Amino acid sequence: MIELLQQLANKEERIGIGLMSGTSVDGVDVAIVSVKGAGESMAYQELAFENVPISAELRERIFEQFEPAKSSVDTLCSLNFELGEMFSNAAETVIKKHGFQKEDIDFIGSHGQTLYHIPVEIDGLVRSTLQLGEASIIAEAFNCPVMSDFRVRDMAAGGGGAPLVPYVDYLLFRSDSESIALQNIGGIGNVTYLPKGGAPSEVIAFDTGPGNMIMDEAIVILTNGRAHYDDGGEMAAKGKANEGVLSELLQNPYFHLPIPKSTGRELFGTMYTRKLVAGLIEQGLSAVDIMATVTKFTALTIIDQYERFLTGPVDTLIVSGGGAYNPTLLSYLREEGNFDVKTQEDYGLSSDSKEAVAFALLANESLFGVPNNLPSATGARKPVVLGKLTV
Q: What is the per-residue pLDDT for 3?
A: 79
Tens digit of pLDDT per residue, the chain (391 long)? 677 777 887 899 999 999 999 877 889 999 999 999 999 899 999 999 999 999 999 999 999 999 899 999 999 999 999 999 999 999 999 999 999 999 999 999 999 999 999 988 889 999 999 999 999 999 999 999 999 999 999 999 999 998 899 999 999 999 999 999 999 999 999 999 999 999 999 999 999 999 999 999 999 999 999 999 999 999 999 999 999 999 999 999 999 999 988 888 889 999 999 999 999 999 999 999 999 999 999 999 999 999 999 999 999 999 998 999 999 999 999 999 999 999 999 988 888 899 999 999 999 999 999 999 999 889 999 999 999 999 9
Q: Which of 264, 276, 128 has its CA nearest to residue 208?
A: 264
CA distance 315 to 321: 20
Whole-number Å distance between alpha carbons of 136 and 391: 8
- The fold adopted by the segment(s) 166-347 is Nucleotidyltransferase; domain 5 (3.30.420)
Give the span between the Cα atoms of 380 and 391, in whole angstroms. Answer: 27
- The whole-number pLDDT of residue 348 equals 85
CB atoms within 10 A of CB 228: 15
pLDDT at residue 162, as a whole number: 85
pLDDT at 221: 97
The superfamily in CATH containing domain 2-161+353-390 is ATPase, nucleotide binding domain (3.30.420.40)
350, 356 in Cβ contact below 8 A? Answer: no
For the chain, residues classed under CATH 3.30.420.40 are 2-161+353-390, 166-347
Helical spans, DSSP H, in the chain: 2-10, 56-65, 73-97, 135-142, 151-156, 166-173, 213-222, 234-237, 243-249, 265-268, 270-282, 287-309, 327-336, 354-367, 375-378
CB 192 within 8 A of CB 377: yes
